[in-house]
Amino acid sequence: MNVELINIHKWFGPVHANDGITLKIPSGVIQGLLGENGAGKSTLMKILSGFYQADEGEIHLDGKPVKIESPADAIRHGVGMLHQDPLDFPPMRVVDNLLIGHQGGLFPNRAEAIRAMQDLQARFGFNIDPYAYVDSLTVGERQQLEIMRLLWLGARVLILDEPTTGISANQKEKLFATLRALAEQGMTVIFVSHKLEEVEELCHRVAVLRQGKLVGETTPPYRTEELVKMMFGKVVLPEDKTHFSSSDPLLRLENLSIEDYRLQIQNVTLTLHRGEVIGLAGMEGSGQRQFLQACAGIIRPVAGEIYLGEKRLTGRPYREFLEAGITYVPAARLEEGLIPGLTLTEHFVLAEPQNGLVVNRQKAAALTAQRIADFSIKGMPASTVESLSGGNQQRALLAMLRQPLNVLLLEHPTRGLDIESAIWIWGKLKERCRQGTGIIFTSADLEEILHYSDRILVFFGGKVSQPIEATKTSVEELGQLIGGKGF
């Protein structure tokens, strides 16, 4: 289907999120959409898919002007969107997720839905159990489920908003193959991403947004520097690899075993040194999260020992881990890390060691101004955290960490961030390493793991590899390990 967006404007209060965007996408094309955090990509796509309504502008489908007033309208017109965080129902079953919102009689026909699902699975090589609960699926599988649902509903325009942030290299290959096959069948695909390599590999053409405006469109062959310059208005270079690892042991795990109702991690022995960065690779849900939480004292291991220096921490309460200078930063920023509804100032005050009952407003204001400047957060002291863009939420989260810290445990520290913010965040983290902090982090991005880690652990279904020297491996080798080869 041919899609035309004509002079689209959208305001959120004073923020001009889309500023007169005009974009034509012919049928059968995979259109890339790039732009820094807060550029207005999601807003534009939500307008096309009916989630928001434009304040001004028109949408034409196959040359005809259409009014899209709700997502239901959009899907009637054949436009379906895979949202940045999959909009599904985690505690419900896969087939029920497919059925919710599907038209029909009082009693849904599960058999029919499963048949349709199996057809689609065969077509794209997916393999999801229709009776599984969605919260037991990986992020990649949840995306596959959403894609199947949209196709089943008859989507002919498929919008994917940052679909690759949580999935493995393998799943990404599968996704790309699916999208190419769909485009060949005449489907229009819009692919939003921060990862230039992916956009360059997949897209037939690319549009770049900056501060709500369309700043340019290009076609292959792409020049990466040119794309970066369009996105940020300047050249952004990745930092050189830096290493601050010492031989000074910091966190020691001895034969640690962790259990959870889904998986078991057995007998991990590892020493994290001062200044060292250890990256945890693996598909989402292979045990990395449980491992980090055990190191942080949130989950109690079923066997083994945890020491910080000479201090035995095994089985001690979370508070003692905190006092020992061990901090965990979860991936779900708004659910677990920040408190929606509270302002930046309130967050910084809460994170400070407490003395006295009453908040000293002057001190709080000074502290907040300082942190906002130090971490170049785009936001006001009185901004609530949920009104910040993803990149700025992450900055706020890091700005709340105490000084000094011994061990920093990070889950997906740069998920969803644009390149510039990601580089900036890692600059701050490496600065901590230089001061002696040891870091363990997870990421779905193997390049990131290779670039910033000293050593790497690969997780596969709860099994943990021996530590691998980052200098002695490659993305390909890690990719194989993640898929379970060698376990």
Ligand X SMILES: Nc1ncnc2c1ncn2[C@@H]1O[C@H](COP(=O)(O)OP(=O)(O)OP(=O)(O)O)[C@@H](O)[C@H]1O
**Residues binding other proteins (CB under 8 A):** 12, 49, 51-52, 70-72, 75, 81, 83, 87-92, 96, 99-102, 104-108, 259, 261, 299-302, 315
215's contact among Mg ion, other proteins, ligand X, none, with CB below 5 to 8 A by partner kind, is none
Asked if omega into 340 is within 30° of 0 (cis), the reply is no
* Residue placing its CB nearer to Mg ion in the complex, 84 or 286: 84
* Residue placing its CB nearer to Mg ion in the complex, 42 or 193: 42
Q: How far is the CB of 140 from Mg ion (least distance, A)?
A: 19
Output the CA torsion 35→147→449→333 (10° steps): 70
Please tell me whether residue 113 binds ligand X under the rule CB under 6 A.
no
Pairing of strands 407-411, 326-329: parallel
With beta carbons less than 8 A apart as the criterion, state whether 141 and 128 touch: yes
With beta carbons less than 8 A apart as the criterion, state whether 268 and 303 touch: no
Nearest Cα neighbor of 455 from 468, 441, 472 is 468
Please tell me whether residue 41 binds ligand X under the rule CB under 6 A.
yes
* Residue placing its CB nearer to ligand X in the complex, 368 or 392: 392
198's contact among Mg ion, other proteins, ligand X, none, with CB below 5 to 8 A by partner kind, is none
Please tell me whether residue 38 binds ligand X under the rule CB under 6 A.
yes
Of 32, 40, 86, 462, which one interacts with ligand X (CB under 6 A)? 40
81's contact among other proteins, Mg ion, ligand X, none, with CB below 5 to 8 A by partner kind, is other proteins
Q: How far is the CB of 386 from ligand X (least distance, A)?
A: 8
- Name the residue type at position 51: F
* Cα 381 to Cα 367: distance, rounded to the nearest angstrom: 10
Q: Which residue has the tokens 């706020």?
A: 396
With beta carbons less than 8 A apart as the criterion, state whether 94 and 40 touch: no
Residues in region 153-192 near ligand X by CB under 6 A? none
Q: Is 195 exposed, middle or buried (0-12, 13-18, 19+ CB in 10 A)?
A: middle
43's contact among Mg ion, ligand X, other proteins, none, with CB below 5 to 8 A by partner kind, is ligand X
Q: How far is the CB of 107 from ligand X (least distance, A)?
A: 37
Q: How far is the CB of 53 from ligand X (least distance, A)?
A: 13
Q: How many CB atoms lie within 10 A of CB 239?
A: 12
Judged by CB under 6 A, the stretch of 37-45, 109-117, 271-279, 340-348 that binds ligand X is 37-45
In the chain, count H helices and then E strands: 16, 21
Tokens representing 432 are 């901590």
* Residue placing its CB nearer to other proteins in the complex, 52 or 460: 52
With beta carbons less than 8 A apart as the criterion, state whether 70 and 113 touch: no
- Name the residue type at position 181: A
E strand or H helix that includes residue 146: helix 139-152
Of 42, 327, 345, 453, which one interacts with Mg ion (CB under 5 A)? 42
Judged by CB under 6 A, the stretch of 12-20, 134-142, 269-277, 454-462 that binds ligand X is 12-20
Q: Which residue has the tokens 């700043």?
A: 215
* Total residues binding Mg ion (CB under 5 A): 1
Strand order in the sheet with 303-308: 264-273, 249-259, 303-308, 311-312
Q: What are phi and psi of 185, to 5 degrees?
A: -85, 10
* Residue placing its CB nearer to other proteins in the complex, 81 or 183: 81
Q: How far is the CB of 153 from Mg ion (least distance, A)?
A: 23
Judged by CB under 6 A, the stretch of 35-43, 143-151, 406-414, 478-486 that binds ligand X is 35-43
Residues in region 388-407 near ligand X by CB under 6 A? 389-391
With beta carbons less than 8 A apart as the criterion, state whether 427 and 244 touch: no
Residues in region 64-103 near ligand X by CB under 6 A? 84
Q: How far is the CB of 18 from ligand X (least distance, A)?
A: 8
Q: How far is the CB of 390 from ligand X (least distance, A)?
A: 4
* Cα 444 to Cα 417: distance, rounded to the nearest angstrom: 13
102's contact among Mg ion, ligand X, other proteins, none, with CB below 5 to 8 A by partner kind, is other proteins
- What's the sign of the alpha-carbon dihedral 482, 483, 486, 487? positive
* Total residues binding ligand X (CB under 6 A): 16
Of 3, 5, 17, 227, which one interacts with ligand X (CB under 6 A)? 17
Nearest Cα neighbor of 462 from 279, 278, 282 is 282
Q: How far is the CB of 416 from Mg ion (least distance, A)?
A: 8
With beta carbons less than 8 A apart as the criterion, state whether 28 and 189 touch: no
- Name the residue type at position 120: L
Q: How many CB atoms lie within 10 A of CB 46?
A: 23
259's contact among ligand X, Mg ion, other proteins, none, with CB below 5 to 8 A by partner kind, is other proteins
Q: How far is the CB of 444 from ligand X (least distance, A)?
A: 16
Q: How far is the CB of 214 from other proteins (least distance, A)?
A: 22
Binding site for Mg ion (CB under 5 A): 42
Task: Return residues touching ligand X (CB under 6 A).
Answer: 12, 15, 17, 35, 37-43, 84, 387, 389-391
